[in-house]
Amino acid sequence: MSFALKTGLRESNVTSLKWSQVDMQRKCAWVHADEAKSNKSIGYPLNSDALEVIRSQISKNNEFIFTNQGLPVNRPNTAAWHKALERVGISDFRWHLQNGMPLHVLKELGGWANLKMVLRYAHLSSNH
């Protein structure tokens, strides 16, 4: 969940993220076209917090970054997921975030064709 908060990636893109999609040196990750809603490849910048989360997963699985008991995470909306959210003090986690990011940046990172689609998913803060 911390990685999702740091990157804004969609749920399925986080849970299916593979080591082959991450370049720690260049500080970015890629969502391949066949895994993106828009059917276009998308590059995501990784900040130091997101990279730290990824580093914590090294050697847990050779293919997938995020696993549970050595297996890829299929759906995070489980009792274990909710317990993890509670442990870190998050009570109202949502996969669609804006977090002060400009709409045109959300459009590019989300792979949306136009701002109308961004507005369907973006939840604007009151001070935006």
Q: What angle do CA 83, 45, 56 make, to 5 degrees?
A: 40
Q: Give the count of domains, the chain.
A: 1
Written as six digits, the tokens of 3 are: 């990685």
**Residue 62 falls inside a structural domain:** yes
**Residue 71 falls inside a structural domain:** yes
Domain assignment of residue 49, given as a range? 2-75
**Residue 86 falls inside a structural domain:** no
**Residue 114 falls inside a structural domain:** no
Report whether 100 contacts 25 (CB < 8 A).
Answer: no
pLDDT in tens, the chain (128 residues): 678 777 777 788 888 899 999 999 999 999 888 887 777 888 888 999 999 999 999 999 999 998 888 888 776 666 777 787 788 787 776 665 555 566 776 676 666 677 787 676 665 544 44
**Residue 54 falls inside a structural domain:** yes
